[in-house]
Amino acid sequence: MDRSIHEITLPLKVIIGSGILDKIPDYLSKMKFTNQYRAGIITGPTTYNVAGRIVEESLKNNGYNVEVWKARDARMETANQIVEETKTHSIKIFLGVGGGKSIDLAKYAAYKNNGYMISVPTAASHDGIASPFASLKGTDKPTSTPTTTPYAIIADIDVISKAPPQLIRAGVGDLLGKLTAVKDWQLAHRLKGEYYGEYAAQLALLSAKHVIRYHELIASGNPDGIRIVVEALISSGVAMCIAGSSRPASGSEHLFSHALDLLAPGKALHGEQVALGTIMMLYLYGDPKWKKIKRIMKKIGLPTTAEEIGIPIETIVKALTIAHKIRPNRYTILGEKGLTEEAAWRLVRETGII
């Protein structure tokens, strides 16, 4: 590949507002889509009732042929099944309506079918709503799969505000991870000669700083606070689009989270794990901000200890020792040999995780 060529694909439109789900046909029309395009809604059993049905009815009322897939998981097997079924139905517009699973499945299906992906989040729990990557289970490693950049993002604040508060907090946790992800990217640039993009890095950092600044408003549950989280998550996703990789948004804190996914699947939300990892990775960097981040996490209700996150401390220590193996080509503060068990125990004690 010619390293002098850096191709950037960004979302065409970002629409954030209240009560906008039933206006999706209008937005599609403004993007030059017509009801000649077959539409596929990829959602979940719960999120279909929350938002998917409204989107389906509004599209059908405007003459669209619509098929609906209610996926219960985001495994590669499920993703490939949806790819084949959407191909059979000649789907061209792929609407991911729901949380991370639905949006990731829609991105993957659109990518495989050379279609247009519309991201319609029902929760602000992670930055996948705008990124060109999907987290699909059942692959060799629990890391991101390259897909397609969402053609548009349509975020209804009314819907997202009604999501469980834990999901909003997880979104903040995912954003806090950018503090260490960018440090890891800079480290890899200095020690390994890896490409580093200052603009993408600063954009990712801005998304983290934004939620730190407004954490009290976000914690209150005010719709203005929810909007801040949504905008910051989109900003982080765009940073990945600009970088051409997940580097500005995913570093050692994400490797730690992925390790927990292997050792204790389903025990905590992605953003909660990332935030806990961020505290420890900042400590490894010798950055005193880890104490401030931990205080903010406590204030907004994110878990800051093994007990609060519901994962045994022994599992957290084990995750710290194997995190560097999750993605060997991604250099971070964990280095190439990772942490020893002794160092991991010292880390959880020093940061008060235990």
Binding residues for glycerol: 127, 174, 254, 270
**CB neighbours of 44 closer than 8 A, spacing ≥ 6?**
52, 70, 71, 72, 98, 99, 101, 102
Query: What are residue 15's DSSP bridge partners?
Result: 154
Compute φ and ψ for 119, nearest 5 degrees.
Answer: -90, 120
How far apart (Å, rounded) are the C-alpha atoms in residues 68 and 48? 9
CB of 10 closer than 8 Å to CB of 241:
yes
**CB neighbours of 235 closer than 8 A, spacing ≥ 6?**
130, 203, 204, 206, 207, 210
Q: What count of other Cβ atoms lies within 10 Å of the Cβ of residue 146?
A: 13
Known binding site for substrate: residues? 127, 174, 258
CB of 37 closer than 8 Å to CB of 56:
no
Could you tell me where the beta strands, DSSP code E, fall in 91-203?
Answer: 93-98, 116-121, 133-135, 144-146, 152-156
How far apart (Å, rounded) are the C-alpha atoms in residues 129 and 36? 26
Known binding site for NAD(+): residues? 100-104, 122-125, 131
* Closest CA relative to residue 311, chosen from 246, 267, 251, 257: 267
* Closest CA relative to residue 150, chosen from 122, 121, 181: 121
The DSSP call for residue 66 is E
Known binding site: residues? 100-104, 122-125, 127, 131, 174, 254, 258, 270
**CB neighbours of 73 closer than 8 A, spacing ≥ 6?**
101, 137
Known binding site for Zn(2+): residues? 174, 254, 270
